[in-house]
């Protein structure tokens, strides 16, 4: 079955409004090179979304994502300073079509767990807004070191708890990003981490697909897009993306430069 190939850029907190203008100016002529078979999403910081909207909001070659929203806050609940709600995202004047759910950095720094992530997904399922989640899962190095069975159990727990009461219909809208924490971003000394090997990434994405078969069914699992994330860049993208169960990438550092992001979309086609 042919699956939708999706490349997502995750800018985290690292782009300012001025950086976003610079990126968009660079991207304007380059976007022509994006293969039509590859969907491109950019998850920008909330403050930068309006700039992406200004440049690409009416251009379906780039879809806009936020990186998180807070659960349990509605226009009628008590005050919650600092929160961003699904209601605000839905009513935004920007055409926000995606949200990252459960990125490992948000799990760690905002202390959110599988239950919280499940509540986010349930809010999205109920909202019928059409906003699609990119659900991030993945293990730290301790788990990886304990071997495949422990890894399987860990990924299964993340999926089973995160997807509790999520219908098959809504599941078809979810993209899963497999992001081993040991391969994401930088080490504490500032040097870049190593990507998972293509074999390691394939094995985990295959495990994820087989868990989706258990939780849902074969047809649904065959159709779902599973991204790999963790130090993917133009030079290793082709090998990672040529694996049978890897249908795209979620890219942090290498997504901040327009040329590198476009090169990754080319490697995906």
| Residues 6-45 interacting with ligand PEP (rule: CB under 6 A) | 10
Decide if residue 139 touches ligand PEP (CB under 6 A): no
Choices 49-57, 82-90, 150-158, 179-187 (CB under 6 A): range interacting with ligand PEP: 179-187
Nearest approach, Cβ of residue 91 and ligand PEP (Å): 27
Cβ atoms within 10 Å, residue 162: 25
Residue whose Cβ sits closest to ligand PEP: 252
Nearest approach, Cβ of residue 213 and ligand PEP (Å): 25
Catalytic residue at 161? no
* Cα distance from N-terminal residue to C-terminal residue, the chain: 16
# residues contacting ligand PEP (CB under 6 A): 13
| Residues 215-254 interacting with ligand PEP (rule: CB under 6 A) | 229-232, 250-254
- In the set 53, 63, 103, 111, the catalytic residue is 103
| Residues 185-204 interacting with ligand PEP (rule: CB under 6 A) | 185
Catalytic residue at 32? no
Nearest approach, Cβ of residue 217 and ligand PEP (Å): 28
* CA 39 and chain centroid, separation: 13
Between 46 and 90, CB nearer to ligand PEP: 46
Burial of 2 from C-beta contacts in 10 A (0-12 / 13-18 / 19+):
exposed
Choices 15-23, 30-38, 120-128, 178-186 (CB under 6 A): range interacting with ligand PEP: 178-186
Binding site residues, ligand PEP, CB under 6 A: 10, 179, 184-185, 229-232, 250-254
* Catalytic center residues: 103, 179
């Amino acid at each position: 079955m042919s699956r939708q190939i999706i490349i997502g850029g995750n800018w985290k907190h690292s782009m300012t409004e001025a950086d976003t203008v610079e990126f968009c100016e660079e991207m304007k002529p380059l976007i022509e090179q994006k293969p039509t078979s590859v969907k491109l999403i950019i998850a920008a910081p909330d403050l930068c979304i309006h700039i992406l909207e200004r440049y690409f909001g009416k251009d379906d070659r780039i879809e806009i994502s936020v990186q998180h929203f807070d659960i349990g806050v509605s226009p009628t609940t008590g005050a919650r300073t600092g929160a961003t709600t699904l209601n605000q995202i839905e009513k935004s004047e920007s055409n926000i079509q995606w949200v990252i759910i459960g990125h490992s950095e948000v799990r760690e720094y905002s202390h959110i767990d599988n239950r919280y992530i499940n509540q986010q997904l349930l809010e999205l399922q109920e909202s019928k807004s059409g906003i699609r989640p990119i659900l991030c899962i993945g293990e730290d190095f301790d788990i990886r070191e304990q071997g495949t069975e422990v890894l399987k159990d860990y990924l299964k727990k993340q999926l089973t708890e995160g997807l509790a009461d999520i219908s098959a219909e809504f599941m078809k809208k979810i993209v899963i990003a497999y992001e081993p924490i040991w391969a994401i971003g930088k080490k504490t000394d500032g040097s870049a981490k190593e990507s998972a090997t293509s074999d390691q990434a394939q094995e985990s994405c295959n495990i994820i697909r087989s868990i989706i078969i258990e939780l849902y069914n074969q047809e649904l699992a065959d159709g779902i897009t599973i991204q790999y994330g963790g130090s993917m860049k133009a030079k290793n993208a082709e090998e990672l993306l040529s694996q049978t169960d890897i249908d795209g990438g979620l890219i942090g550092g290498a997504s901040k430069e327009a040329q590198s992001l476009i090169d990754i979309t080319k490697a995906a086609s």
